[in-house]
Amino acid sequence: MEKEFEEIEKRNEWNALYQAIRIESLQHDYTNQESKKKENRDLNRYRDVTPYDHSRVCLQRLGTEDYINANLVEVPLAGRKYILTQGPLAATVGHFWLMIWEQKSKAVIMLNDLVGRGQVKCHQYWPAFIGAEDDLDEVRLRVRLVSETKSEHYVLRSCLLTDEDSQESREVLQFHYTSWPDFGIPQTPASFLKFLFDVRDSGAFDMNVGPPVVHCSAGIGRSGTLCLVDSSLVLLETGKHSANLTIKDVLMEMRKYRMGLIQTTDQLRFSYESISKGAEIIIRPSLPSTASDSGFSGSTNELRQRQSNDVANKAADQQTQVTSQTSSAPNNNNHNPAEARVRERQARKRKTEENIQRIKERQRQQEERSRFQAKLVRLGGIGLAIIVGAGLIYSYLTQGSHPSGLGSHSSSIPPPIGSFQGP
Active centre residues (catalytic): 216
42 in helix, strand or coil? coil
| Three-class secondary structure of residue 296 per DSSP | strand
H-helix or E-strand spanning residue 74: strand 70-75
If you write DSSP's letter for every residue of 159-181 in order, what string do you get?
EEEEETTT--EEEEEEEEE----
CB crowding 100-129: b at 16 or more within 10 Å, else e = bbbbebbbbbbbbbeeeeeeebbeebbbee
How far, in whole angstroms, is CA 386 from its chain's centroid?
49
Of 356, 351, 335, 291, nearest to 317 by C-alpha is 291
**Is 415 in a helix, a strand, or coil?**
coil
* Residue 367 three-state SS: helix
Closest CA to 81 of 207, 196, 198, 199: 207
93 three-class SS:
helix
Q: Rounded to whole angstroms, what are the CA distances from 215 to 87, 175, 176, 278, 350?
A: 6, 11, 10, 22, 27
